Structure 1
Amino acid sequence: MSRTAAPSLRHATADFDDLRKRFSPIFERIAEGNLEREKSRIFPYEQVRWLIDAGFGALRIPVDLGGFGASLQQTFRLLRELGAADPNVAHVWRNHLAFVEDRLNAPRSERTDRWIQRFLDGEFVGGGWTEANNGTYANIRTRLVPNGDHWLITGAKYYATGSLYADWLDVLAVAPDGTPTTAIVRRDQPGVQVLDDWKGFGQKTTASGSATYTDARVESENLFPVSERFAYQGLFYQTALLAILAGITEATLRDGIAALRRRKRNYAHGLSATASEDPQLLQVIGKVSAASFAAEAALESASASLDDIAHAHIAGDEEEKKRLVVTGHIAVNRAQLVIIEAALNATTIVFDALGASGTSEELLLDRHWRNARTLASHNPRVYKERILGDWHVNGADPTRIYGFAAGQSE
């Protein structure tokens, strides 16, 4: 059994009820302004800062290092609840939480300690892996070149989620020898330009537009070969999306119930004069409730599989970790199929319980479908269906999808 150097990871010690007591009031405050931000495309700078100041970025940092000691399952539960309050704010956290996880997985060193302290001090990380101009992971055009005691990065990214809120940007590039490398780049410096040019019909305030780099400075200690990033990085990114989708499904149930209760009239061919007592309309809400339950249950199972991988990493058991990464891919792929179907179905059929009044721009219930459809389009589920089938029938390795081991978009 091979073993690795001890990371900063620990087994979880947090009590989930305590975590909810701390963060639920903030989620409620965030939810209060969600409709207005959606209608007017107002970026939630203040709301993201509330969470930073409350230590949301330190959820996974062990208590003895200054954090909350949450498990991955607990972290994604909270992200689901935040997604129900505002899926845009929840999505902003995806890249930050992933980089925190990466530093916790790394062998303990002065460099990792510095990053952990930055997280505790409230410094925030945005993302930038996807190449602009139709570039792919197999053809990374963003380049790193040495320049004395540091490096320079040049390239263009899209889907730079969370970038406008960030102090640092996690950017995928290639070193001169062709090695895929992530560079952690200070956002507020010459040579870095972040644009709000996201054109999607959903997730409109996540700052998922363009980021360009022109000879921007990168310190040598902030370069990390992709092969050394944490083994379940792709699974983490995907599970974060699933947590937000599960949150949207819960929000659809919440808002569908409230809207049906408010209906004053019913159709002449309905089964009750009162809409909220009509068995067929109640049946619709029941189906939405089942979809929310399915999404939450699938998320719980998938996130637990990530905790299993983390535990093997803590133990330094590389063989067990490799095995669990494979089973983790299966669990997360299955969860993706369940949760996407639940979210898209719930956000569509909820209108069957509401009539024409449910389409009011004041209610803005269409935001749930738009946001869910946008998130569900990140990694097409048809490919995951094929991968699962190939694994079941032919024993194909579900982890070998990208040209390197830790693909963000898995």
Structure 2
Amino acid sequence: MTASSQTYLTSPTADTDELRAIFAPTFTKIADGSLARERDRTFPHEQVRWLREARFGTLRIPVDRGGFGASLEQTFLLLADLGEADANVSHIWRNHLAFVEDRLNAPVTDTNDVWLDRFLAGAFIGGGWTEANNVTLDNIKTTVSRRNGHYEVSGAKFYATGSLYADWLDVIGRGDDGDLLTALVRADDPGVTLVDDWPGFGQRTTASGSARYQQVPAEVGDVFPATERFSYQAHFYQIAMLAVLTGITRAAQRDGSSALLARQRNYPQGLTEVPAADAQLLAVIGEVSAEAFTAGAALTQAARILDWVAAGRVAADTDNEHRRLIDAEVAITQAQLAIIAAALRATTIVFDALGASGVSEETGLDRHWRNARTLASHNPRVYKARILGDWFINGEEPLSNIAALGRGGQGN
């Protein structure tokens, strides 16, 4: 297919193996220091810079416009690879990649050409949607007001993931007429205050804390009606988080295997003196590998269905868009149940293959469970099986259970 005459989306052209070969060296460098950064709460500014220099943020931009031409499946598989290297760094990219996807779905205009040029030049986008104290989109406090030929943004946000690494912040607020607007503001503006006060026990260097805005200017071309965000936005945000969880599950297998090989002595009840030869301990690692396989398979299948949604946009198939979104919601909800269960089980049972040394802070195996548990808590998994059952039995549309502007996993 060719590009839609109305958007920047085109059919993917990238090769998965080639993409992995391009980014593997950078992912390996990022993995090398991930344990020390986690232990010391060192923010990965350098690692984010490496990815920007490698043009990771342009994965989805078509080749003829200067990007890699990757599919959504390829993008999320790479995000999982990055999550295996460092779950914090992978999560940091979620908001950026989502805003790129939004602009690719936007009409071809001079203003949006500017945004593509910014992405290609390495500009990085952080998040600023969610507000604390149970504020929802219905009673949002942040304002985006028209002032003398531009806009001004004032308000406070939380869960501002990636904000400390960003050039631009994607902020949602209410306009003068009461409609919701998204405004892109410069992170280094004097009216912006970013605070690392994220209190979670996992994902501790994602800069998911507070952001305050005091009369921060936004140009007219950088403000968009929130209702015009791309139709599969909530699905994109959800599956990006599932990609990180998939990477964590693989990291648990990797680090658990290394720890078992390094174990020098076994318990008296063991089957062999050498732990790495003990069939019961080997079975634990085998089970962890099966959980990693489950997560990867679920991620791949869900991402392919989301590519089908994007393909409908390329073909301007508006008649079937709603049905495609339903199929995506069902698949990603199923993937959420499978991947979260796999990640939490893998990061828990891996300790059964190890001795007391497995809980050493020097080893840092606990970070995989803490990070997985934190990501899993961003979204109400407890409701998802019911929603699926209601769809399959009663035909109750699952799309009715997500907000039209939902982030797909950004709540308290």
TM-score bucket of the superposed structures, by smaller chain: over 0.9
Alpha-carbon separation, structure 2, partners of 1:192 and 1:409: 26
Gaps of 5+ in 2: none
Indicate whether 1:305 and 2:305 are aligned: yes
Q: Equivalent residue for 2:106?
A: 106
Q: Equivalent residue for 1:325?
A: 325
Instruction: State the SS of the aligned residue for 2:137.
Output: coil
Q: Equivalent residue for 1:62?
A: 62
Alpha-carbon separation, structure 1, partners of 2:124 and 2:133: 27
Q: Equivalent residue for 1:90?
A: 90
Indicate whether 1:375 and 2:375 are aligned: yes
Q: How does 1:182-261 map to 2 (within 5 A)?
A: 182-261=182-261
Q: Give the alignment's TM-score, normalised by structure 2.
A: 0.97
Moved more, 389-398 or 69-78: 389-398
Q: Give the alignment's TM-score, normalised by structure 1.
A: 0.97
Alpha-carbon separation, structure 1, partners of 2:117 and 2:63: 13
Instruction: State the SS of the aligned residue for 2:172.
Output: strand
- The one-letter amino acid of 1:132's match is A
Q: Equivalent residue for 1:358?
A: 358
Question: Cα distance, 1:49 vs. partner?
Answer: 0.4
Q: Is residue 232–residue 406 contact of structure 1 (8 Å, CA) maintained in 2?
A: no
Question: Cα distance, 1:134 vs. partner?
Answer: 2.5
Instruction: State the SS of the aligned residue for 1:400.
Output: helix
Instruction: State the SS of the aligned residue for 2:397.
Output: coil
What is the CA deviation profile of residues 137-171 of structure 1, one whole-angstrom value per residue up to 9, with x for unaligned ones?
A: 22111111110101111111000000000000011
Question: Cα distance, 1:409 vs. partner?
Answer: 2.6
What is the CA deviation profile of residues 66-86 of structure 1, one whole-angstrom value per residue up to 9, with x for unaligned ones?
A: 000000000000000000000
Alpha-carbon separation, structure 2, partners of 1:372 and 1:263: 25
Alpha-carbon separation, structure 2, partners of 1:32 and 1:184: 34
- The one-letter amino acid of 1:6's match is Q
Cα root mean square deviation, aligned: 1.0
What is the CA deviation profile of residues 177-204 of structure 1, one whole-angstrom value per residue up to 9, with x for unaligned ones?
A: 2212211111111211111111100000
Q: Is residue 126–residue 160 contact of structure 1 (8 Å, CA) maintained in 2?
A: yes
Q: Equivalent residue for 2:115?
A: 115
- The one-letter amino acid of 1:369's match is W
Q: Is residue 230–residue 406 contact of structure 1 (8 Å, CA) maintained in 2?
A: no
Alpha-carbon separation, structure 1, partners of 2:321 and 2:63: 24
For this pair of structures, how many residues does the alignment match?
Answer: 406
Gaps of 5+ in 1: none
Residues 402 and 296 of structure 1: CA distance in aligned 2, closer, same or farther (over 3 Å): closer
What is the CA deviation profile of residues 105-159 of structure 1, one whole-angstrom value per residue up to 9, with x for unaligned ones?
A: 1111111111000000000000011112321122111111110101111111000
Alpha-carbon separation, structure 2, partners of 1:137 and 1:159: 15
Q: Equivalent residue for 1:406?
A: 405
Question: Cα distance, 1:5 vs. partner?
Answer: 5.0
Percent pairwise identity:
59
Indicate whether 1:144 and 2:180 are aligned: no
Indicate whether 1:80 and 2:80 are aligned: yes
Instruction: State the SS of the aligned residue for 2:400.
Output: coil
Alpha-carbon separation, structure 1, partners of 2:211 and 2:401: 26
Alpha-carbon separation, structure 1, partners of 2:314 and 2:44: 36
Q: How does 1:255-294 map to 2 (within 5 A)?
A: 255-294=255-294
Question: Cα distance, 1:322 vs. partner?
Answer: 1.6
What is the CA deviation profile of residues 18-50 of structure 1, one whole-angstrom value per residue up to 9, with x for unaligned ones?
A: 111110000000000001101100000000000
Question: Cα distance, 1:402 vs. partner?
Answer: 4.5
Q: Is residue 236–residue 408 contact of structure 2 (8 Å, CA) maintained in 1?
A: no
Question: Cα distance, 1:221 vs. partner?
Answer: 1.3
